[in-house]
């Protein structure tokens, strides 16, 4: 009898192809033209690897969506989730729970800010950061930058400068955009060694033209992620902070991708020695184990809401299981010296990327900080003509992506760029193996361009 049940289970277990078909037939994939979606069946995962339905092992050089900082299936995070599920699975957002208070306290400690408002992810965190800035300042405009991504809900998508916002425009009113500190392709035609940081001074001009008393906040990614790892010069943030202070404008630092160890610090802006008024975070807050985001506000902003209504909150805000996952995840960062590993492996990564930049004709620039890096591909090193157009792709980039996939290296490519953002627990050997595959891919691109 037992044997029959086992046999029956074996017979009825769906194949990988059936799973993929069911996903494609009954679900919509995000950011995809549906008939071009080509999902891999992700069956199981551990550490820096995952396995597909055919039992191929993939090296995850993208930490899924640059969020699984402690890697897949970390036992301490899994256990914390299981424990919390057993104890208390849900409490409405107006109740006090142990994991919520513990997390708020820890976030205040590591950011130097005061209080957290919990959300379900990064987009919603940015929505609420904008709302909080408007309520607190009584002003309405928000300055953001062109090469930025802040989310896919209506407000956060409008706040983004990324072309992904184009189809939903006009979106939310009151967004004004500025240029980015993109030193490889400086929008002001300057060189970083000799420029006057026109990327900051032109924001001051925008402020004057828009009316300083109308501007609630400047919203920037700590370090721009999905638009190409734009690492500002050392004095960029101090100058931006001073500009905000001069006009009473809040600085909102979107650390959804760059925060929580990705650059080796809690926040990318901590490398620059400045303190924002509001920090938004998500991804590395739980390493993706449960959905969670946060808006962390300064003491004056927290104080304001002591006597003013905070207009916001969803049914699942401050979910106890998500907060428990975050608490365990943040403990892993400290107990397992994850940021130290980021520094060590980050140095190795930078060394390898610099060598790649020198040896491959198709590599125009490499940018990295910690385990957050991009390779920017060009047709010609001298003219810097991109290997694929802005908001487009090219046969060469397609070939590179297909090669990496064929080698079961999961790495994010977009426009003329390739990201290397593995889980922060990666070893040098694992990192080296993935970079060897990338080098082979770049060799193929060089050969194609030369032919
Ligand atoms: N801000 C930044 C900088 C991001 O990279 C992302 C996600 N890639 C978001 C916000 C949106 O976060 P979520 O997808 O969790 O809503």
CATH of the domain at 152: 3.40.640.10
Q: Are residues 249 and 204 in the same domain?
A: yes
- 54-58, 166-170, 254-258, 427-431: segment of lowest average pLDDT: 166-170
Q: If you measure from the C-alpha of residue 425 to the centroid of ligand 1, how many angstroms do you get, rounded to a whole number?
A: 22
Q: If you measure from the C-alpha of residue 256 to the centroid of ligand 1, how many angstroms do you get, rounded to a whole number?
A: 6
Atom of ligand 1 nearest to the CA of 291: 15
Residues in the chain: 451
Q: Are residues 341 and 330 in the same domain?
A: no
Final residue of a domain: which of 335, 358, 381? 335
Choose which residue among 65, 69, 151, 159 to substitute to test ligand 1 binding: the one with the highest number of ligand atoms within 8 A of its C-beta.
Answer: 151
Q: If you measure from the C-alpha of residue 308 to the centroid of ligand 1, how many angstroms do you get, rounded to a whole number?
A: 28
pLDDT score for 312 = 94
Taking CB atoms and a 6 Å cutoff, what residues make up the pocket around ligand 1?
121-123, 126, 149-151, 221, 225-226, 254, 256-257, 282
Choose which residue among 123, 157, 255, 421 to substitute to test ligand 1 binding: the one with the highest number of ligand atoms within 8 A of its C-beta.
Answer: 123
Decide if pLDDT at 2 tops 60. no
β-pair partners for 281: 294
Q: Are residues 65 and 124 in the same domain?
A: no
Atom of ligand 1 nearest to the CA of 124: 16
Which residue owns the Cα nearest ligand 1 atom 5?
257
Given the DSSP bridges, would you call strands 409-410 and 175-178 parallel, antiparallel or unpaired? unpaired
Residues 6+ apart with CB under 8 A from 430: 48, 59, 422
Residue 169 φ then ψ, to 5°: -70, 150
Torsional sign, CA 316, 318, 324, 330: positive
> With bands split at pLDDT 50, 70 and 90, how would you rate the model's confidence at 200?
very high
Decide if pLDDT at 190 tops 80. yes
pLDDT > 90 fraction of the chain, expressed in percent and rounded: 97
Q: Are residues 273 and 399 in the same domain?
A: no
pLDDT score for 8 = 57
Q: Are residues 388 and 416 in the same domain?
A: yes
Contact 402, 315 (CB under 8 A): no
pTM to 2 decimal places: 0.97
Any domain includes 110:
yes
pLDDT score for 228 = 97
pLDDT score for 202 = 97
Q: Are residues 320 and 405 in the same domain?
A: no
Tell me the pLDDT of the chain averaged across its residues: 97
What is the Cα–Cα distance from 335 to 76, expressed in whole angstroms?
11
Say what the ipTM of the complex is: 0.99
Stretch 240-258: mean pLDDT? 98
Stretch 424-448: mean pLDDT? 98
Decide if pLDDT at 9 tops 90. no
Q: If you measure from the C-alpha of residue 70 to the centroid of ligand 1, how many angstroms do you get, rounded to a whole number?
A: 18
Task: Tell which residue, 415, 404, 418, 355, has the closest CA to residue 40.
Answer: 404
Q: If you measure from the C-alpha of residue 9 to the centroid of ligand 1, how many angstroms do you get, rounded to a whole number?
A: 40
Q: Residue 356: which domain range? A: 40-70+337-450
Final residue of a domain: which of 277, 310, 335? 335
Stretch 134-145: mean pLDDT? 98
When divided into structural domains, the chain yields a total of 2
Which residue owns the Cα nearest ligand 1 atom 1?
150
Any domain includes 19:
no
Q: If you measure from the C-alpha of residue 29 to the centroid of ligand 1, how many angstroms do you get, rounded to a whole number?
A: 17
Instruction: Give the per-residue SS3 of 28-94.
Output: CCCCCCHHHCCCCCEEEEEECEEEECCCCEEEECCHHHHCCCCCECCHHHHHHHHHHHHHCCCCCCC
Final residue of a domain: which of 335, 362, 390? 335
- Using the 8-state DSSP alphabet, how is residue 215 labeled? E
> With bands split at pLDDT 50, 70 and 90, how would you rate the model's confidence at 5?
low
Which residue owns the Cα nearest ligand 1 atom 14?
122
Q: Are residues 324 and 263 in the same domain?
A: yes
Place of tokens 């050089």: 61
Q: If you measure from the C-alpha of residue 191 to the centroid of ligand 1, how many angstroms do you get, rounded to a whole number?
A: 30
Q: If you measure from the C-alpha of residue 223 to the centroid of ligand 1, how many angstroms do you get, rounded to a whole number?
A: 12
Q: Are residues 132 and 258 in the same domain?
A: yes
Give the other-Cβ count within 10 Å of 353's Cβ.
Answer: 21
What does the buried/exposed string (b/e) look like for 304-316 if buried means 16 or more CB atoms within 10 Å of the residue's CB? Answer: beeeeeeeeeeeb
pLDDT tens digit sequence for 92-118: 999 999 999 999 999 999 999 999 999
Q: Are residues 255 and 373 in the same domain?
A: no
pLDDT score for 7 = 58
Any domain includes 26:
no
Q: Are residues 252 and 125 in the same domain?
A: yes
Contact 238, 274 (CB under 8 A): yes
Any domain includes 64:
yes
What is the Cα–Cα distance from 279 to 153, expressed in whole angstroms?
18
Atom of ligand 1 nearest to the CA of 126: 10
Token pair of 165 as six digits? 């916002």
Task: Tell which residue, 88, 95, 94, 119, has the closest CA to residue 324.
Answer: 88
Q: Are residues 370 and 429 in the same domain?
A: yes
Q: Are residues 362 and 229 in the same domain?
A: no
| CATH number of the CATH domain containing 429 | 3.90.1150.10
Decide if pLDDT at 265 tops 60. yes
pLDDT score for 12 = 83
Q: What angle do CA 416, 417, 421 make, to 5 degrees?
A: 170
Any domain includes 14:
no
pLDDT tens digit sequence for 324-367: 999 999 999 999 999 999 999 999 999 999 999 999 999 999 99
Choose which residue among 256, 260, 268, 316 to substitute to test ligand 1 binding: the one with the highest number of ligand atoms within 8 A of its C-beta.
Answer: 256
Any domain includes 188:
yes
Stretch 244-266: mean pLDDT? 98
Any domain includes 32:
no
pLDDT score for 1 = 46
pLDDT tens digit sequence for 399-414: 999 999 999 999 999 9
Atom of ligand 1 nearest to the CA of 66: 8
Any domain includes 308:
yes
């Amino acid at each position: 009898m037992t044997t029959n049940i086992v046999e029956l289970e074996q017979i009825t277990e769906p194949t990988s192809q059936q799973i993929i078909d069911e996903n494609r037939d009954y679900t919509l994939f995000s950011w995809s033209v549906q008939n071009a979606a080509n999902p891999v069946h992700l069956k199981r995962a551990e550490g820096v690897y995952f396995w597909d339905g055919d039992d191929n092992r993939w090296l995850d050089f993208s930490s899924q969506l640059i969020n699984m900082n402690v890697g897949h299936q970390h036992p301490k995070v899994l256990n914390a989730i299981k424990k919390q599920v057993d104890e208390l699975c849900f409490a409405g957002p107006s109740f006090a729970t142990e994991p919520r208070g513990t997390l708020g306290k820890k976030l205040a400690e590591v950011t130097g800010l005061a209080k957290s408002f919990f959300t379900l992810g990064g987009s919603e965190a940015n929505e609420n950061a904008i709302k909080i800035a408007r309520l607190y300042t009584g002003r309405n405009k928000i300055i953001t930058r062109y090469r930025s991504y802040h989310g896919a809900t209506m407000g956060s998508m409008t706040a983004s400068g990324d072309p992904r916002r184009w189809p939903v425009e006009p979106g939310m009113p009151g967004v004004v955009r500025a240029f980015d500190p993109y030193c490889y392709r400086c929008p002001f035609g300057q060189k970083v060694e000799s420029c006057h940081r026109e990327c900051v001074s032109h924001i001051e001009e925008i402020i004057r033209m828009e009316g300083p008393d109308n501007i609630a906040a400047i919203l920037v990614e700590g370090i721009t992620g999905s638009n190409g790892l734009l690492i500002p010069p050392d004095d960029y943030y101090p100058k931006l902070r001073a500009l905000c202070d001069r006009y009473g404008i809040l600085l909102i630092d979107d650390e959804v991708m760059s925060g929580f160890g990705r650059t080796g610090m809690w926040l990318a802006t901590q490398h620059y020695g400045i303190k924002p008024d509001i920090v938004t975070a998500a991804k590395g807050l739980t390493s993706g184990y449960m959905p969670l985001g946060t808006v962390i506000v300064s003491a004056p902003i927290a104080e304001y809401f002591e006597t003013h209504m905070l207009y916001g909150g969803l049914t699942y805000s401050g979910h106890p299981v998500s907060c428990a996952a975050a608490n365990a995840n943040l403990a892993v960062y400290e107990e397992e010296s994850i940021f130290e590993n980021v520094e060590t492996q980050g140095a190795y990564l930078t060394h390898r990327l610099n060598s790649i930049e020198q040896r491959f004709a198709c590599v125009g620039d490499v940018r990295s900080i910690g385990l957050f890096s991009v390779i920017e591909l060009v047709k010609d090193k001298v003219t810097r003509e991109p290997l694929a157009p802005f908001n487009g792709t090219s046969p060469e980039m397609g070939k590179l992506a297909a090669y990496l996939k064929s080698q079961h290296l999961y790495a994010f490519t977009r426009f003329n760029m390739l990201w290397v953002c593995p889980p922060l627990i990666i070893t040098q050997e694992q990192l080296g193996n993935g970079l060897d595959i990338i080098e082979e891919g770049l060799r193929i691109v060089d050969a194609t361009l030369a032919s």
